[in-house]
Amino acid sequence: MRSPADFIATRASGVDASGIRKVFDLAAKMKDPINLSIGLPDFDVPDPAKQAAIEAIQTGQNRYTQTQGIAPLRERLRKDLSAEIGRDVGDVLITSGVSGGLFLAILATINPGDEAIFLDPYFVMYKHLLTLAGGKAIPIDSYPDFRFHPDRVEAAITPRTKLLILNSPSNPTGVVMTQQEVNAAVSLAKKHDLLMVSDEIYEPFLYAKDEGGRMKDESEKKSSDSSFILHHSSLPSAAKSYDRTIILRGFSKSHAMTGWRLGYAVGPEAIIAQMTKLQQYTYVCAPSPLQYAALAALDVDMSAAVAAYEIKRDIAFDTLSKKFEVVKPDGAFYIFPKSPGGATASAFVERAIAKNVLIIPGNVFSEKDTHFRISYATTDERLRQGCEILNSLA
């Protein structure tokens, strides 16, 4: 007689449990840890979005929506994003988070044996979602600067390559692609006839950019208080010059709606139509009342949250760079230092956890185990405290 384990499908066995979730579970068992592990904003959902959700629930907006999402939200997103990109961006599908959008995009485009290229370090889902679809993940080493190196990417392209996945701002490094790097990626996609997937969930979190998209000199920043207004340039986007791009964005990070599971996919009609069809048989639709909340959230000014997170970025970098080799992040809310003294990240993380500081080993996001990820989505005080403890271990 077969045991329960004998019924497990090969596709499930080929996917590892998330190292992030393991740390998340560990945190629940620890007494007041300094948790620098999870990408969970420390601000709350803005009140106008909460009120819109409550009103939607109370007025009966609790049934299935159209698979593709409510028309007012889709129309608003298409209008706003088209204005930002400078062309009509195509159809819009409201998804159950950007993770849901990634899953649908990969299911809709990847055949068994097809290859998808992305930079290493990478967001944990890329590799495993491709496994579920029967595809092959091709991570491209971007160490030590975590930049997009066109020569390394092109060397990995084969006749089976179908997708080029970009993640900017990056999880786990916080690196933001420059316009020159985006242009190079687009050139490769055109040359080799690739579809691009642009994961832009951290798009609002861009720090110290001038109008040309360059990093400002540190002396230009006002440091007397956290109330200054930041005039960031928009994120360099492949979609501006390459219409075979699927843009994935969402509300989890920008508006702290991590538990509401709301994202959106925008791109060519033929591909979005297939993603919509697959959503019918998986997620059905994104949460109904929360779609109305997302519509209200689009009119909320979140610049204060971005300003606060730039300060957190500076706290993390200024503190950790005293003891660690670390690339300064330009966006998102992560920093990715190198483990000290040639130690593996896993070993260093064990030492940090013993000191009640939760961080994530780099091998969760990479084929290497040389760095570790810190999320600075916590209070300034806890962040300083945690970084100083890490420095004491270096």
Euclidean distance between CA atoms 312 and 306, whole angstroms: 10
The reported pLDDT for the residue numbered 174 is 97
Domain ranges of the chain: 4-44+302-393, 48-297
Question: What pLDDT score was predicted for residue 6?
Answer: 81
Quote the distance between the C-alpha of residue 142 and its chain's center.
17
> What sign does the dihedral 139-108-199-40 (CA atoms) show?
negative
Q: Tell me, what's the pLDDT at 13?
A: 81
Phi, psi dihedrals of residue 123, rounded to the nearest 5° = -65, 135
Summarised one tens digit per residue, pLDDT across range 257-286 is 999 999 999 999 999 999 999 999 999 999
Apex 216 CA angle, 212 and 220, nearest 5:
130
Among the residues of 193-327, which ranges form H helices? 269-280, 288-297, 303-320
Give the pair of three-digit tokens for residue 301: 């000014």
Q: Looking at the domain that runs over 48-297, which CATH code has it been given?
A: 3.40.640.10
CA nearest 69: which of 296, 288, 294, 259?
288
pLDDT digits (tens, 9 = 90+) for 181-192: 999 999 999 999
pLDDT score for 235: 87
pLDDT reported for residue 212: 43
* CATH architecture, domain defined by 4-44+302-393: Alpha-Beta Complex (3.90)
Question: Contact, 370 vs 141, CB < 8 A?
Answer: no
Report the percentage of the chain scoring pLDDT > 70.
Answer: 90
**Cα 241 from Cα 354, distance rounded (Å):** 49
Q: What pLDDT is recorded for position 31?
A: 80
Q: Output the pLDDT for position 19.
A: 61
pLDDT at residue 11, as a whole number = 85
Q: Give mean pLDDT in consecutive 10-residue pieces for the chain, a chain of 394 residues.
A: 85 74 67 90 96 97 97 97 94 97 98 98 96 96 98 98 98 97 97 98 84 43 34 73 96 95 97 97 96 97 96 98 97 97 93 94 96 97 98 96
Q: What is the pLDDT of residue 228?
A: 29
Spatial neighbors of 27 by CB under 8 A, at least 6 apart, are 33, 35, 37, 38, 358
